[in-house]
Amino acid sequence: MKLHKIILRIFFIVGWILFCQALLVSCSSSDGNSPVDIEEGYVNQQILLNAPESLNTFNAEDPIYIELRLHSSNEIAFPNDYNLKIFERINGVWIEIPEIPAARFPTGDVVLSPTTKLRESTFVDPDLKDHTRRYQLRIYVIGDMNTEEGIKNVAAYVDIELHPTILGTQG
């Protein structure tokens, strides 16, 4: 009888440990954990970012076309590289990956303004080592918004899934 109670307790303890681990993993892998340090009220609010399906292949070997759109009455300035950051989701965690260096024109700052320029677009080329697998990416652009209180960092991101390139179909 004592052995039976001991075995039941062991099963209960092991079950409880597994439940707690599963709960921790599901909480840590939520999208609420931003990989950039910008206040939540300044992300995907003042600027919007998308990767139109009609202009992208979403193959792992191809660059990604992105569009920025001003969604604020304030001017937002970006450096020529848009402070672009690319993250890959690996086991529920966002890991930053490099971009293949790109020459972007014009060479000066990019300024979105409600009176002169509401949209901007560019290409992003993540430095992916293996084109034969899927990638879950999050691409950020980060700018400086001029407000009456001063300059505020703002960001926008888009989530993208890249598909493997099928071997033998490359040109």
The mean per-residue pLDDT over the stretch 115-138 comes to 96
pLDDT in tens, 110-126: 999 999 999 999 999 99
pLDDT in tens, 14-62: 444 444 343 333 333 345 578 999 999 999 999 999 999 999 999 999 9
Question: In this predicted structure, what is the pLDDT of residue 69?
Answer: 98
Q: pLDDT: is 169 or 79 the higher one?
A: 79
pTM of full prediction above 0.85: no
Task: Answer yes or no: is pLDDT of 148 > 80.
Answer: yes
Q: pLDDT: is 26 or 6 the higher one?
A: 6
Q: pLDDT: is 149 or 27 the higher one?
A: 149
Question: In this predicted structure, what is the pLDDT of residue 154?
Answer: 98
All domains of the chain in start order, with CATH:
31-162 (2.60.40)
Question: In this predicted structure, what is the pLDDT of residue 33?
Answer: 76
Residue 132: band (very low, low, confident or very high) from pLDDT cuts 50, 70, 90: very high
Q: Is the peptide bond prior to 101 cis by the omega test (within 30 degrees of 0)? A: no
3-state secondary structure the chain: CHHHHHHHHHHHHHHHHHHHHHHHHHHHCCCCCCCCCCCHHHECCCEEEECCHHHCCCECCCCEEEEEEECCCCCEEECCCCCCEEEEEECCEEEEECECCCCCCCCCCEEEECCCECEEEEEECECCCCCCCCEEEEEEEEEEEEECCEEEEEEEEEEEEEECCCCCCCC
Question: In this predicted structure, what is the pLDDT of residue 28?
Answer: 34
